[in-house]
Structure 1
Amino acid sequence: MNILVTGGAGFIGSALCRHLVADPDNRVVSLDKLTYAGNLASLRQIENLRNYRFVRADICDEGAIASILSAEKIDRIMHLAAETHVDRSIDGPGAFIETNILGTFRLLQAALHYWRGLCGRAAEAFRFHHVSTDEVFGALSLDDESFNESTPYAPSSPYSASKAASDHLVRAWHHTFGLPVVLTNCSNNYGPFQFPEKLIPLTILNAMEERPLPVYGNGTNVRDWLYVDDHARALDLVALKGTVSESYNIGGGCERTNLHVVDTICDILDGKRPRRNGKSHRDLIAFVDDRPGHDWRYAMDTSKIERELGLKPRESFETGIERTIDWYLENGWWWQPIRDRNYRGERLGRSVAAP
């Protein structure tokens, strides 16, 4: 299986690449534009493997994508390249329109042309796997049922609107042109190698450095948390065994408020790395003005993927968050250059609730 992973140097993309290359029958081509969140250090442990290759390219460059598909004889495209941070979409939505919508369009066009040139079993086996988010469904109240695959789309931020548009494009390229696609919508991911503007790594690293731990509003916004390696396993399985044209929700089954997440990290760090003054890390929590249009709750009904593909997460929130904290405690070589380079200040301080 020759697999192209777009956004392969990102948080989820790099986890997927590390998972896929563990199977020697796979050959993985990781493609990334290497914007601020793309980090080749996340791929260091696999960069010299014979069944792995990195290509720096932009998904908006249809010609470059077409050349890669043909030269590498790609059997499966796993499309993760996207602008993903809600706060950044509020500050500068243009990049989200360019990458998430136009980039997906260009990638679909290249994939369609390539697929039409395949014959026999190669054409039948080809898949375009589009990876999306639960945020396209909008927000839930406490009493609402979880999002399922039939939930109407109701995006509420420039980020989620751009991802909803890309989902619609992928479905249209199947229904209109026959391109064999599968789609997945995931809940909030966390784990090793996550860029330090997101809630969990930001909280861990700020706590380690005795800096304020910002929490939007009163911290009652609810998210379903999915350990990134569980997500990678699910993506691989859907691409292999998912039904063409179908979508699958992928979640962790771990609904937690943002404040609960931050409190849990503080309590674990109190035991693993106590503060010098003997106080709890909870004393560093600082409530800040809420984000504009902040969705209150996301929750995923994952019964379809469990029923059809037999998939459930291996990590609970408790086991996953401890593994994540241990990783950040032990791997300053990865995150310290990021903190030192450009993102120590206000940008990190206000990024406290995005997926």
Structure 2
Amino acid sequence: MGATALVEYLITGCGGFVGSHYLEYLHNTGQTGEVVGIGTTAPLNAPKDLRFRFIDCNLLDAKTLGDSIKEIRPRFCVHLASMSSVAASWTYPDKSFHNNTSIFLNLVEAIRKYSPQTRILSVGSSEQYGALSLLAEYFTESDRLAPKSPYAVAKYSQELIGQIYVKNFELDIVMTRSFNHIGPGQAERFAVSGFSRLFAQAMNNGDDSLVLPTGNIQVIRDFIDVRDVVSAYEEILRGAHTGTVYNVCSGVGVALTSVINKLSEISGVISKTETERLRLRPSDNNVVVGSHAALTNELGWEPIIPLDQSLRDILKYWQAN
């Protein structure tokens, strides 16, 4: 079914938060095959012992992307490139669709034409579910999807495209609905990382208190460490049946208020929160918690990094940066 693969991995978005951790994971697990990153942002510090090279390519340019796929014909494609901010999608809905749905369509079309043997990991979002009902404890993969933001709709569209290409073109695609990632190296525009940066700054300055600007901190989210995320992605990429969708989550719901309290306890810095109107979204999901039972039962994966450890590592990162 097509020519023999020339490289082991093609990773889109390898210069981003998850991508950098994925490269580190491949290095730590002894990956010896060639790994190619593609996109417009190269990783700052790819592991030196990893057989890695980077192709500068705008994923919205279908022809250039197609030429690259034709050249490398990867065994695996890990599609991480995304405009992943829900908040930004309300301001720039067109960019959210271009940088989620459109780039994925370009990618699967290129693989369909030039490398149909490639297995693709398509990363979706828990935002596709909407909010939990009052009677439900968590989302499972069989629950109805009810996206409520431009970003969520764009990610839902990406998943539907994936299913179409599996059923009609026999592409080998596996998919996720990933819950809120946290960990060292995440951009400060994401709530937990942004809060952590301010606490770390206070620690470095010797301050014993700070004022924390916030949006809606009553929401409950399922936070999962990015290092657990990439291990889950690898299990899904190598073990899932074609067309399968898995939740990637911790299975534990935590209010943002609790995260702030934990950061205060760990850092020794007292915080006072102030709600800023510009940080509030037009529509928000009050409770988003997932179940990873399917992933655990079928592929044996479980998260191993507790929230407190994630927060300590994020604080250390910001203290050093």
Q: 1:222 aligns to what?
A: 220
- Give 1:301's match in structure 2, choosing from 261, 279, 291: 291
Contact map agreement 1:89 1:96 (CA 8 A) in 2: yes
Can you list the C-alpha shifts for 1:120-176, whole angstroms capped at 9, x where unaligned? Answer: xxx3xx311101111111111453231111112111001111111111001111111
Contact map agreement 1:136 1:160 (CA 8 A) in 2: yes
* Residue correspondence of structure 1 range 278-297 to structure 2 within 5 A: 280-283=269-272, 285-289=273-277, 290-297=280-287
- SS of equivalent residue, structure 1 residue 130: strand
* Residue correspondence of structure 1 range 123-162 to structure 2 within 5 A: 123=117, 126-162=118-154
Can you list the C-alpha shifts for 1:24-55, whole angstroms capped at 9, x where unaligned? Answer: 32321112223xxxx733xx152x44511122
- The code of the aligned residue for 2:211 comes to P
- Cα distance 1:76–1:64, how it changes in 2: closer, same or farther (>3 A)? same
CA distance in structure 2 between the partners assigned to 1:227 and 1:324 by the alignment: 10
Q: 1:329 aligns to what?
A: 319
* Residue correspondence of structure 1 range 46-125 to structure 2 within 5 A: 46=47, 48-116=48-116, 123=117
Q: Does 1:207 align with 2:196?
A: no
CA distance in structure 2 between the partners assigned to 1:85 and 1:51 by the alignment: 31
- The code of the aligned residue for 2:174 comes to V
Shift of 1:205: 1.4
Structure number having the greater strand percentage:
2
- SS of equivalent residue, structure 1 residue 129: strand
- The code of the aligned residue for 1:26 comes to G
Number of residue pairs the alignment of both structures matches: 305
Q: Which runs of 5+ in 2 are unaligned?
A: 1-6, 203-209
Q: TM-score, normalised by structure 1?
A: 0.81
Can you list the C-alpha shifts for 1:192-242, whole angstroms capped at 9, x where unaligned? Answer: 11011111121111233456322223x210000000000001101110111
- Cα distance 1:263–1:248, how it changes in 2: closer, same or farther (>3 A)? same
Shift of 1:183: 0.3
CA distance in structure 2 between the partners assigned to 1:21 and 1:207 by the alignment: 31
Contact map agreement 2:32 2:50 (CA 8 A) in 1: no
- The code of the aligned residue for 2:213 comes to P
- Cα distance 1:182–1:212, how it changes in 2: closer, same or farther (>3 A)? same
- Give 1:33's match in structure 2, choosing from 40, 54, 57: 40
Shift of 1:82: 0.9
Q: 1:8 aligns to what?
A: 14
- Cα distance 1:321–1:253, how it changes in 2: closer, same or farther (>3 A)? farther
- SS of equivalent residue, structure 2 residue 11: strand
Q: Does 1:171 align with 2:163?
A: yes
CA distance in structure 2 between the partners assigned to 1:242 and 1:183 by the alignment: 9
- SS of equivalent residue, structure 1 residue 212: strand
Percent identity over the alignment? 22
Contact map agreement 2:200 2:316 (CA 8 A) in 1: no
- SS of equivalent residue, structure 1 residue 253: coil
CA distance in structure 1 between the partners assigned to 2:18 and 2:134 by the alignment: 28
CA distance in structure 2 between the partners assigned to 1:26 and 1:261 by the alignment: 39
Task: Give RMSD over aligned pairs.
Answer: 1.7
Shift of 1:58: 1.7
- The code of the aligned residue for 1:145 comes to E
Q: 1:274 aligns to what?
A: none
Shift of 1:328: 2.1
Contact map agreement 1:60 1:107 (CA 8 A) in 2: no
Q: Does 1:24 align with 2:24?
A: no
Contact map agreement 2:139 2:289 (CA 8 A) in 1: yes
Contact map agreement 1:77 1:128 (CA 8 A) in 2: yes
CA distance in structure 1 between the partners assigned to 2:285 and 2:260 by the alignment: 18
* Residue correspondence of structure 1 range 233-248 to structure 2 within 5 A: 233-248=231-246
Q: Which runs of 5+ in 1 are unaligned?
A: 117-122, 271-279, 333-355
Contact map agreement 2:19 2:80 (CA 8 A) in 1: yes
Runs of 4+ in structure 1 off by over 4 angstroms are: none
Shift of 1:99: 1.5
Can you list the C-alpha shifts for 1:238-263, whole angstroms capped at 9, x where unaligned? Answer: 10111111111110123110111111
- The code of the aligned residue for 2:256 comes to N
CA distance in structure 2 between the partners assigned to 1:238 and 1:171 by the alignment: 16
CA distance in structure 2 between the partners assigned to 1:49 and 1:199 by the alignment: 33
